[in-house]
Every structure is written in C-alpha cells, then in structure tokens.
Amino acid sequence: MQSFKGEFLDFAIRQQVLLFGEFKTKAGRLSPYFFNAGLFNDGLSLKRLGEFYAKAIAASGLAFDGLFGPAYKGIPLAAAVAIALAAEGRNVPFSYNRKEAKDHGEGGTIVGARLAGRILIVDDVISAGTSVRESVELIRAAGATPCGVAIALDRMERGLGELSAVQEVSRDYGIPVIGIVNLDDLATHLSGKPDWQATLAAIQAYRATYGVGEA
C-alpha cells in the first residue's frame, strides 16, 4: 500500500472524520465505520486533505486540464486540490457550479475558470452518483470532457445491484474513479495495529456481506 494512504487514514482517524462503531447507512445497513469528510473543517485539515488528493491524483497518472467541484462539498475540495497542485509547481484552473443559476452579473451556473479540455471532478465520496451525473452533464454542455472523478474514500459497497456506486459511475461514463483510499486499504492499514483487531474483524465481515471488487 502506498505510504500516503496509511498517512491519510491515520489523519482521518485523528480528525474523527473516520469513526468506528455501529452506524446505520441510508440503505439501512449497520456499518462498522462512518466517514464524514465535512469534518475536515479548518484551514490546516483542509490543506492536508488537498495534499492527499493531489498525491492520489499524481499516483494515478491521469491526464487532466482542469478541476471541477460539484456544489456543495466539492467546492472547497476542488479549491484545496488546486492549491496543493500549485504548491507542487502545477497551476491548474478550477471551477464549480451553483445550485441555482444567476440572472445578473456573469450569470449562469458555472463559477470560476471556463470549462475546457479534460476536466477532473473532485468530490468527497460517491453514494448514489447523483452529483457526478450532474457534473458530467454540466461539463459536456460547456464543450469540455469529463475525464475522471477523485474522491476521498471508496466504500467498495454494493448498491441496489451487484455493482458499487463507484463501479456504476465508471461503467456509465467510461471514466476512472480515483480514491485516496478504499475499504481494502483500510483493512490492510488496521491489520498492522494490534489494538484494532476487533474493528478489523467487523469491517471484514461487513465487506464479505456487502462488498464488491475493485472497479
């Protein structure tokens, strides 16, 4: 496992973004973990989060020309990633959407840089894939090409069918999904921590019941 993945998981646990216990999902399942990226809610944690996204994106080798953050959670994420990339010497444009179009000023629903070329969508997780679908439509309508999605955590969990939400996005739009980490990375990380073996066993059992393979 790449070192930045373990560093990110330790970071998420310290920030209490990644919690362990018993949590009911939207699907009514009892999950042994809960991930809430909205709790990266101060300057330092958002800065570090952007750096982890940048590392995962670089490791993927994906070529892109700009970033797009879906409203609302994707807006600070895309900005943080753009700043992290700039710190590494790569200055890329970013943009995001409004939920409602403005009828004054610059108007429209897109804010920031003009969408052009290959656009990487940045979001926290993919649940139902709704924000990705809306983003793909906006990017294509602007004449640009959606080329991938970057997320913090891939739960690797089946939706209503046999595929996960991440796999459905890859299938439906023909684009890769880059996760900083996935559920297998979490299991690998916990396997090296003696105090976390009960948690690891619960995650492995959940994965055996609801999990899918990698996209």
Distance (Å, whole) CA 158 – CA 107: 39
Give the per-residue pLDDT at 110: 92
Among the listed residues 99, 156, 105, the one whose alpha carbon sits nearest the alpha carbon of residue 126: 156
* Chain-centroid distance, C-alpha 12: 13
Nearest to 110 by CA among 99, 123, 119: 99
Q: What is the pLDDT of residue 180?
A: 98
Domains of the chain: 3-210 (3.40.50.2020)
Question: Coil, strand or helix: which one is 15?
Answer: coil
The DSSP result for 42-109, as a single string, is: SHHHHHHHHHHHHHHHHHHT---SEEEE-TTTHHHHHHHHHHHHHHTT----EEEEEEEEESSTT-EE
Q: For residue 72, is the peptide bond before it cis, meaning its omega torsion is within 30 degrees of 0? A: yes
Q: 4, 119, 109, 2: which is closest to 50 by C-alpha?
A: 4
Per-residue pLDDT of the chain (215 residues; tens, 9 = 90+): 789 999 999 999 999 999 999 999 888 899 999 999 999 999 999 999 999 999 999 999 999 999 999 998 999 999 999 999 999 999 999 999 987 665 544 557 899 999 999 999 999 998 877 889 999 999 999 999 999 999 999 999 998 789 998 999 999 999 999 999 999 999 999 998 999 999 999 999 999 999 998 75
* CB distance 136 to 164 below 8 Å: no
Considering only CA atoms, which of 66, 176, 61 is closest in space to residue 120?
Answer: 66
Q: Residues 120, 123, 128, 131: what is their CA dihedral angle, to the nearest 10 degrees? A: -70
> What kind and span of H or E run contains 14?
helix 3-14
Catalytic residues: 102, 104
